[in-house]
Each structure stands twice: as structure tokens, then as C-alpha cells.
């Protein structure tokens, strides 16, 4: 590790866009204001996307509102769960989806998964990585370090959040080359359970191993749109409201992934999480995501993947189907991972277990799609909707609870 990495002060961060983003936004939670903004934004765009935001909310949401906790309003605002319930649910759900998919990620095909685990595929937690039950892989590891960076930025009043997240990700990188924490480690770097190399993505490793921090002007891995940037980015939506969450997630994406579709998918995911935590129903939040304005290959590829997921979810009246997941993709790339998670979250109609299992029982990047779906389902339905018997087995359960507590403390204050 260079002296630059030890100091945590990356070169090349003082670009104009980063400076602009660093001074914008505020912490959560403007629920009513957020909804009013959504209505204004879409008031003249009822025909946009695949039927428009309002049409999507009214058609999908009205038909399936009984499956959405407290979804008694056509406006799409939920009121029963608190932001704290959703924050904890998002982090626990992500770890749970990660753990469910960890043991089957590299089996290659759905047929191989069924041959090993039975006709229904994986139906519960399994062992992986040398016999670890409910393993915490790189998906959960990086999500936790992203959260730690955001917590540190908020507590210190840092004007450059991206730098704080980058420093946190460098601390994660250090865990990938050690067996145990150094004696002077603090925070997540002192958690022995995180010192395990669980198939980290090449772009995440190479991007962080570069001598300088990636920026919009000089992104790392400019041709990469791997899902490793989406799977770590839920915390942006746990700390910040929609627009700021999107901006920060995109700014931090380029530290490891520079393809426009990876940037776009990550920003939309963070914004979607922010809306869920702020009390917007899953259907309404997905509708807003689908109608997000944009141009270029990133916007087009991400929109097409999400539109396909929504169409399939509307037709899946009996719950999520493996053939639909396969039609959306394998999840190795950003837009497919996000779309699979959205499909499973919508198609499960509030059956969280069914949504989680559908998100992992496929021949692609099972732990990442499971983690992203778990983030969405946990944020939408809260921690109490997750199966307690599974949650209790999670390898990094205590660490997740601690980070959730820290995030909730930010909200409360």
C-alpha cells in the first residue's frame, strides 16, 4: 500500500462535478416532500417509459396492494414501518440474500443447482467457502464498508463524501490480503469476520489497487459494468434522499467501474432504496425508477432491462418464476443484476422468502442478485418480514446490527 493509501488522500479528486456534488443534498427523510416532488416530476409525463409512472403505480399497485404492508393509498406512500425498520431490514436482507446465493454462485446452471439441492433448488441456508453457514461474501463486506464511509463522512462533516467512501473501500481492500486484523485496527477493519476473501470482483480489486481514486474525468475500468458496483451501494439510499443518493452512488461507482450502464444502474438502485426507506411503496418506487430521464447507452440499457423485469413481474401472477429470471439475465452485469432484483421483489407480491429464493436460484451471479433483492425487500417490508430463523444464522449478523445502529443514529439525530 502506497503512502497515498495510508494517508487516505487520493489524487485527482478536485474535479468540478465532485465539488458540486459534495455541497448538495441533505440527510433523510422528506417523505411527503419526496412524494410531492415525484408528482410534479411526472405530472406531464403520464405516457413515458412502459406506460408511465402514474399508470404503473395505479395498475400494478392497485391490483397487488393487499400484498404490500400498509399500502392502502393510491399515492404509494407506506406509513406503518419506521425508517429504522427499513434501514435494518435493508442491511439484513442484503446479507441474507448474499448468504442464500453464496453456495450456488458458481454451479453454472439452474439444472446443476436442482441436481444438488432438489427440484426447488436452494430452499434455505447452505454452507459455502469451506463449510461456512450463511456466509458473508464480498457483497455484504463491501456494503458494510460503504456504509462506514458514509457514516464517517456524516459524523466528521466532510465536504467530500466520495473520498470518505473511497478510504473505506481501501480498508476493505486491505482485508482481502490479510488473515486477521492488524493490532491497531478500528471500526470494521477490526472485525475478524470480514477478513475472508470470498470471490471479490476483479473490477473492484483492480479499481481500488490503482494509484489514484477514479473520478468522472478519469474513471477506473471504463469498460466495466459488472454488478460489483450495484451490490455495494444500498447504503447511499439509507443515508441520503433520492437525488443525493443517486449522485453520490454514481460518483463512487467510477472508483471501480466506468461504463455508463454501470454508473446508471448503481445510481438508480441507490435512489430506489432511498425512496423505499422514505416510505414510498415498492411499486411506486419502481415506477419512478423506470421513468427516470436520461440518454445514451447507460440510460437505454438500464431502462430496457428494468422494463423487461416489470413486464414479466406483472404477468407472474403466481409468484416469481425461474424462466422469467433467466429471461432478464444472469446478473453478472449491473443492469441485469438490478433488473433481476426488481423482478423478484415485485413478482413475489410481499412473500419475502419467495422473492429471496427466486433471486438466487439461477445459473448466474446468485449471491449478488440475492443481496440486491434482499436490500430492496428489507427496505420495502422491514426487518421483521425477514425469516428470523435464517437471520439468526448470518455469519456477520453482529456487525450488520452494529452498522445498522450507527445508520439509525444518524437518522435520529
Q: What 3-state DSSP class applies to 237?
A: helix
Q: Which helix (H) or strand (E) holds 132?
A: strand 132-133
3-state DSSP helix/strand/coil percent for the chain, to nearest 5?
60, 0, 35
pLDDT per residue as tens digits for the range 274-303: 999 999 999 999 999 999 999 999 999 999
Does residue 9 have a cis bond before it (omega within 30 degrees)?
no
Cβ 208 vs Cβ 169: under 8 Å? yes
List of domains in the chain: 37-412 (1.10.4080.10)
Cβ 376 vs Cβ 272: under 8 Å? yes
Return the C-alpha cell found at 24. Answer: 448538495
pLDDT per residue as tens digits for the range 240-279: 999 999 999 999 999 999 999 999 999 999 999 999 999 9
Q: What 3-state DSSP class applies to 266?
A: helix
pLDDT per residue as tens digits for the range 105-142: 999 999 999 999 999 999 999 999 999 999 999 999 99
Task: Report the C-alpha gap between 98 and 105 in whole angstroms.
Answer: 10
Return the C-alpha cell found at 94. Answer: 442484503
CA 388, 230, 103 angle in degrees (round to 5)? 50
Task: Report the C-alpha gap between 338 and 212 in whole angstroms.
Answer: 28
Task: Report the C-alpha gap between 385 and 382 in whole angstroms.
Answer: 6
**Alpha-carbon 236 to chain mean position:** 9
Give yes or no for residue 325 having a pLDDT over 80: yes
Task: Report the C-alpha gap between 48 and 29 in whole angstroms.
Answer: 27
What's the chain's average pLDDT? 86
Return the C-alpha cell found at 286. Answer: 419502481
Give yes or no for residue 3 having a pLDDT over 70: no
pLDDT per residue as tens digits for the range 359-391: 999 999 999 999 999 999 999 999 999 999 999
Instruction: Fill in the DSSP letter of residue 104.
Output: T
Task: Report the C-alpha gap between 127 and 99 in whole angstroms.
Answer: 9
29: alpha, beta or left? (left if phi > 0; alpha if psi -120 to 50) = beta
Q: Phi first, then psi: what are they for 328, rounded to 5°? A: -75, -40
pLDDT number for residue 80: 83
Q: What 3-state DSSP class applies to 226?
A: strand
Task: Report the C-alpha gap between 251 and 165 in whole angstroms.
Answer: 10
pLDDT per residue as tens digits for the range 36-80: 343 343 333 333 344 444 444 445 544 444 344 443 333 344 558
Task: Report the C-alpha gap between 98 and 291 in whole angstroms.
Answer: 28
Task: Report the C-alpha gap between 285 and 380 in whole angstroms.
Answer: 10
Amino acid at each position: 500500500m502506497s503512502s497515498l493509501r495510508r494517508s487516505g488522500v487520493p489524487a485527482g479528486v478536485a474535479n468540478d462535478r465532485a465539488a458540486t456534488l459534495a455541497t448538495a443534498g441533505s440527510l433523510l427523510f422528506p417523505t411527503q416532500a419526496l412524494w410531492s416532488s415525484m408528482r410534479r416530476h411526472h405530472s406531464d409525463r403520464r405516457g413515458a417509459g412502459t406506460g408511465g409512472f402514474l399508470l404503473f403505480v395505479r395498475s400494478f399497485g392497485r391490483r397487488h396492494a393487499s400484498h404490500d404492508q400498509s399500502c392502502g393509498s393510491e399515492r404509494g406512500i407506506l406509513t406503518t414501518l419506521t425508517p429504522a425498520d427499513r434501514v435494518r431490514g435493508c442491511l439484513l436482507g442484503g446479507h441474507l440474500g448474499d448468504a442464500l446465493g453464496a453456495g450456488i454462485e458458481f454451479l453454472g446452471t439452474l439444472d446443476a443447482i436442482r441436481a444438488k439441492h432438489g427440484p426447488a433448488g436452494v430452499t434455505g441456508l447452505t454452507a459455502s467457502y469451506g463449510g461456512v453457514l450463511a456466509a458473508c461474501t464480498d457483497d455484504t463486506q463491501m456494503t458494510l464498508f460503504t456504509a462506514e464511509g458514509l457514516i464517517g463522512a456524516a459524523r466528521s462533516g466532510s465536504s467530500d463524501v466520495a473520498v470518505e467512501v473511497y478510504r473505506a473501500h481501501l480498508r476493505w481492500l486491505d482485508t482481502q490480503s490479510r488473515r486477521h486484523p492488524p493490532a491497531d485496527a478500528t471500526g470494521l477493519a477490526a472485525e475478524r469476520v470480514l477478513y475472508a476473501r470470498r470471490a471479490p470482483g476483479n473490477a473492484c480489486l483492480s479499481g481500488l489497487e490503482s494509484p489514484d481514486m477514479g473520478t468522472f474525468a478519469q474513471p477506473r475500468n471504463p469498460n466495466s459494468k459488472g454488478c460489483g458496483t450495484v451490490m455495494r451501494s444500498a447504503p447511499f439510499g439509507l443515508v441520503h434522499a433520492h437525488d443525493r443518493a443517486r449522485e453520490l452512488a454514481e460518483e463512487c461507482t467510477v472508483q471501480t467501474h466506468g461504463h455508463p450502464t454501470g454508473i446508471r444502474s448503481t445510481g438508480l438502485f441507490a435512489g430506489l432504496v432511498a425512496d423505499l426507506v422514505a416510505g414510498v411503496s415498492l411499486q411506486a418506487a419502481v415506477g419512478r425508477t423506470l421513468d427516470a430521464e436520461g440518454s445514451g447507452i447507460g440510460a437505454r440499457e438500464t431502462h430496457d432491462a428494468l422494463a423487461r423485469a416489470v413486464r414479466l413481474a406483472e404477468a407472474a401472477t403466481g409468484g416469481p418464476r425461474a424462466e422469467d429470471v433467466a429471461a432478464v439475465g444472469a446478473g453478472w452485469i449491473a443492469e441485469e443484476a438490478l433488473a433481476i432484483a426488481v423482478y423478484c421483489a415485485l413478482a413475489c407480491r410481499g412473500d419475502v422468502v419467495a422473492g429471496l429464493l427466486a433471486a438466487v436460484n439461477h445459473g448466474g451471479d446468485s449471491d449478488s442478485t440475492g443481496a440486491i433483492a434482499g436490500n430492496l425487500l428489507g427496505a420495502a417490508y422491514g426487518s421483521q418480514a425477514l425469516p428470523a430463523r435464517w437471520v439468526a444464522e448470518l455469519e456477520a449478523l453482529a456487525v450488520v446490527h452494529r452498522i445498522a445502529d450507527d445508520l439509525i443514529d444518524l437518522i435520529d439525530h
